[in-house]
Every structure is written in C-alpha cells, then in structure tokens.
Amino acid sequence: MWGEQGVGDEVLYASMMGDVLARAGQVLIECEPRLSPVFERSFPAAQVFPRAYPLNSELEATHFDFHISIADLSPLIRPDPNAFTGGSPYIKDDKNRTASLREKYETLSDNGPVIGIAWHSGRKDNAWLKSIPLQQWTPIFDAKNGLFVSLQYGEHGEEISQLESASGHRVYRDPDIDPLSDLDAFASQVAAMDLVITNSNTAAHFAGALGQSVWIMVPRSGSGGMPWYWMRSGPTSPWYASARLYRQTRFQDWSSVVGAIAADVAGLSPAT
C-alpha cells in the first residue's frame, strides 16, 4: 500500500490498515517519510518504507500479489456507513515523550485545561475555505482560563503576536516541536492535550487517529472544495469516534461555529 495526497489524508486512510493486516499474509506500506516512525510503532506487523524517488530498491525487487494506493482502499474496506468499525484509535504515540510534554504543559497551564489549537490550512486548493483567522477565535480564548497551545504548522508567529497585542491572549508555541519536520513529536504533542480545537487540517486527523478529544470546525455543506470525509451533516464522524463537528450555518461565516465552541469551552472543568 502506498500513501498519496496530503499527510492528513494518509493518516485518515491509515484507519483501514488494520483491516488489511487482518486479511493479508504480508503487508508493506510506503508512506510520507515523516510518518514512518509513527506507522512503524502503530502497525508493527507491517513493513514500513519511507517514500523515496527513485523507488526504494527493496520495494523495487519485491514481488507483490496485490498493490494499491491507500486512498483506493476506501470503496473496498469502507463501501458504506455500515462498514465503519466505530472509529477506534489506531495511531500510537511515544508514551515517554507524551508524558514529558504533558508535565511541561500542566506546569504552564496554572491548573487550567491544556487545549491545542490549529486554525490554518496550507492546501493550495481550498485553504481559503477551511482557514479561520486567529483573531476570530477571541470568544473561545475569553471563555476559559487555561493553556492554549499552538498545534499549527508553518510560520504564524506574527499572527499570534497580533492576537496577543490586540486582546492580551497568549497562544503558547512549543520551541521543541515542529510539525513540519517531526510528525512523531507532533503526535505526542497532540496526545498531551486535554482537548484539541482545530479547523480541518493535519491536527484534526492526528487527534482523531489518536483517540484524542477533538472539536473540528467544518465549512458549510455544499460549498465547493469542502473536505468530503466530514460528510454533509451531523455532529459526529464515522472516521473518528472522538471527534465533534461544528458546522458553518452560513457560507464563509465562522461566527456561529466560534460562538458554539466558546460556549462549550466555558463549560469545561478546570482540567477537563
């Protein structure tokens, strides 16, 4: 099986790897190189190869009875809603690293919840549809004292600084974690949260795959470019049992989504 599309897509489709491992004698997985350590830990019965160009020589020399892209597993493994297995966690984090990060974040949180956030998509085709400017999150930050941790990939320091200057709210950026270079560390960071609040991006998929509580901001159904895997309606996802979906009611208007999440954040226990 070989991965395709983006990192988040590979993580989503990896939910079907367990089904394949249960049916096949020997499974080889070729994936985004940064996902290799995560997949090796999560699927020890498979051989995992980081994607390379030219093709890995061992893979090139191997005879396969079957081969398929991971995305093309969907009509075979998940042909209809009844074929979903409940969205159980299937990605495993480095528990020692997670514990270390958790201890650090608890110290910084002043007895409040540790909430990871992501708000921007780097996709060239539909980033405009999925991204929520950070300053629009202010009602969420107002709702609860705690530690808000950036799970956002890419350079967004200026946007975070502008938020702090305008509202006084702090978003903590861990200097030891870079999602763009180390997805294994990122998996532990996500696992160290009490809650993840995110737009539709890599953080959403990692949180769901880890079984982490995650609230996902979803564009209005029917809008061009909307991610298909969040389906058209409903507050839950067949892919991720731990996910709660907050859907736009009006195209490109995030105010109702932000308001609903802020109300639910306000109801969280001090350390949820």
Residues of the chain with CATH 3.40.50.2000: 95-266
pTM: 0.94
Q: With bands split at pLDDT 50, 70 and 90, how would you rate the model's confidence at 86?
A: confident
Does the pLDDT value for residue 27 go beyond 90? Answer: yes
Q: Is there a contact between 230 and 200 (Cβ–Cβ < 8 Å)?
A: yes
Single-letter amino acid code for the residue at 1: M
Is residue 117 within 8 Å of residue 150, measured between CB atoms?
yes
pLDDT of the residue at 101 = 98
Tens-place pLDDT, residues 98-118: 999 999 999 999 889 999 999
CA trace torsion 99, 101, 104, 109 (10° rounding): -100
Average pLDDT of the chain is 91
pLDDT at 61 > cutoff 70: yes
Q: How far apart are CA 76 and CA 232, in angstroms?
A: 22
Segment 16-21 mean pLDDT: 94
Looking at 51-55, 122-126, 146-150, 254-258, which range is the least confident one?
Answer: 122-126
Q: Which top CATH class is 95-266? A: alpha beta
